[in-house]
Structures are given as C-alpha cells and as structure tokens.
Amino acid sequence: MKKIALITGITGQDGFYLANFLINKNYIVHGVKRRSSTVNNYRIDGLYKKYYEEATKKCFFLHYGDVTDSLNISALVSKIKPDEIYNLAAQSHVKVSFETPEYTANADALGVLRILEAIKGFKKKKIKFYQASTSEMFGGSAAPQSESTPFMPKSPYGAAKLYGHWITKIYRESYNIFACSGILFNHESPLRGETFVTKKVIKSAVKYFKEKKEILKIGNLEATRDWGHAKDYVENMWLMLQKKNPDDYVIATNKSLSVRKFIETVYKFLGISIKWKGKGIHEIGIDKKNNKTIIKVSSDYFRPNEVQNLRGDPRKAIKKLGWKPKVSIKQLIKEMIEYELKS
C-alpha cells in the first residue's frame, strides 16, 4: 500500500524537490498552498500536470490551506490521513522578518504548534512529522555549528523558528509523537526565490553578461554561509522519518563561502573579473575589462542584526542517516547560472 505524505509550503523550492522525490519513492503526495491574488505555482505546475491532470493513477494532489489557520490544518489532516507530514511552510526571508515580526511568529512558530496539535488529536493512525528548522537559530554562536551548539538567534525569523524547533522536541517527548527537526543550512537550486542572495547575484550577473548594463545592489559582503543543493537536502527530510526513533539533525556541507567570494565565483564563471574599491557602504565592484561599476554595496540590504558566520557540522547525519552532500558549491553555481542563461 502506498504511503501518503502531506507537504505544507509545496510551492517553494524545497516543496518541489521533496514532492518529486517522494513521488519517485511511490508515495501519494498532497500539497498545501495558500490562496492568494497572485499565482505562484510555476515550480510545481509540471508535477501537477504529469501526476494529476494526465495521470491514470493520480498521485499528486493540491489543497488550499494555511498554517495560520488551525481549523484548516486539522481538517486537512482528518481528510488526507497522511502517514508523514513535512512542514516546509514559513515566512522564510530573514530581513523581511524584521518588518513583519508578528506574521513571522504566527506562521513560523505557531504554525508548527497547530500541526502538532492536529497530529496529537488524530487517533486513527500514528503520523510522523518533519519540521524544517534553520541554521539562523544559531545566530551568533561560533562556527562550525552542530546539534549541541547553543542557539543564539539574531532575527525574528530565527526566534520564531527556534520556537518551532523546541515545540517539536517537547511534543515528541511529551506525547510520544514521531517528530524530527532538520536544522538545514543554506540550500539553493535553480528554483530558488529571486529575493534570496544566491539567486539575486546570479540573475544580476547573467543580465550584465547579456546586456552589459546591470548593477547588483548588495548588503553584507563579509557574511559567510554554508551552501548546499536543495535536492540533496530533501533526501534527508525523508531519511529522518524512516529511522526507528525520531531525532534532530544538522544538514550542511561543513564548507563555507563569504558573499564576496560567492559573487566573485559567479562573475568569474561568466568570464568577468571584479576589482573592489572603497570600504563599507561605499564599496563598489568594477569590471576589470571596461572599468564599469557593476556592484554597489547598499545599506538597504543590511539586516538590523547581522549573522556573520554559519557553517554546519553534519557528522551526525552522515553517521546515522548514511547521507553526505553530493553537489559542491561550484557545481551548484554552475547549475544555477546555466539555468539562468536559458531563461
């Protein structure tokens, strides 16, 4: 009998990769998407067409819903009766969380609680639960960060996610729910949203490569991040729920790159060498070939409270889940650039 999975946040990057992964594992997948005035289905349109509209045996279904609505979540759990729930829904932009702290808390913190309450109240079967935690919970803690590193969030996003992380652990221990948290470090792909720094840099670089007139506006160049591929990371979400006992895992590559070095690598791939000039918010990046300014540091893109260094230690996941990252940062950059060049 096929397993049934319910994925919140289905329209995002991770939602697409996880849905595709689970369908290939012979699951029936149900995705939850928010109703909004703009359509945001472009990542999953192909999956829906292939596995619902054109399929003789349908295995991909979409439902309107929102983790800020407890009645809706409980109704979906009762209707779908999933074996596994993957909570990928969130307000996931760190800088935006400073502007919308209440909504971020409602979705990223209380949204987790609402799902756990729905699972606790559902008596017809034992449902396994995956919570998407984040490296932003570590905030100011020294790198590399592991499962035993103290949490020190520095944003409303990090704080809201930390509540979601802890409430998952509390419900696991208090109510015997099979609940796991994956503490995922930055993970990218060609399907990354355009407001995220990796996608923003690559889109700007490709546009300059094609038109020779684009200027990238950027914030903190010295922040370092541990970047992996989303396709690698969703496999871990599934692996966690297949173990005999639930637990929490750091998912990362244990390698980091500064935003400055990331930018240089992207432009170099396109045959563009950068010369840096100035300091702080007055720093610019110049194309060495023609002396054009192509990058400007802007105070608009700094967070009120910066997280400088994030690099994860994934040894527990490697040992207990039998996983290791397959895609290097250079391969990831190459894939994202090639996708953008075709767009």
Cα(53)–Cα(230) distance, integer angstroms: 26
- Which residue has tokens 């074996």? 83
Closest CA to 108 of 67, 140, 154: 67
- For residue 32, is pLDDT > 60? yes
38: annotated active-site residue: no
Span 241-286, pLDDT tens digits: 999 999 999 999 999 999 999 999 999 999 999 999 999 999 999 9
Q: State the average pLDDT over residues 25-47.
A: 84
- For residue 38, is pLDDT > 80? no
- Are 59 and 23 contacting, i.e. CB atoms less than 8 angstroms apart? yes
The tokens describing 98, both together, are 């400073």
- Are 338 and 256 contacting, i.e. CB atoms less than 8 angstroms apart? no
Span 213-225, pLDDT tens digits: 889 999 999 999 9
253: annotated active-site residue: no
| Catalytic residue selected from 8, 11, 104, 134 | 134
Confidence (pLDDT) at 173: 98
Cα(153)–Cα(150) distance, integer angstroms: 10
Confidence (pLDDT) at 37: 46
| Catalytic residue selected from 136, 188, 264, 340 | 136
Q: pTM of this prediction? A: 0.95
Span 41-95, pLDDT tens digits: 778 888 888 887 787 789 999 999 999 999 999 999 999 999 999 999 999 999 9
Give backbone dihedrals phi and psi of 238, rounded to 5 degrees, phi first. Answer: -70, -45
The separation between the first and the last C-alpha atoms of the chain, rounded to the nearest angstrom, is 40
Confidence (pLDDT) at 74: 97
312 DSSP assignment: B
DSSP string, 119-130: HHH--SSPPEEE
What domains can you pick out in the chain, each with its CATH number? 4-190+227-255+308-326 (3.40.50.720)
| Catalytic residue selected from 48, 51, 157, 208 | 157
DSSP H helical segments within the chain, as ranges? 13-24, 45-48, 70-80, 94-99, 101-105, 111-121, 156-175, 197-211, 230-242, 259-269, 315-321, 329-342
136: annotated active-site residue: yes
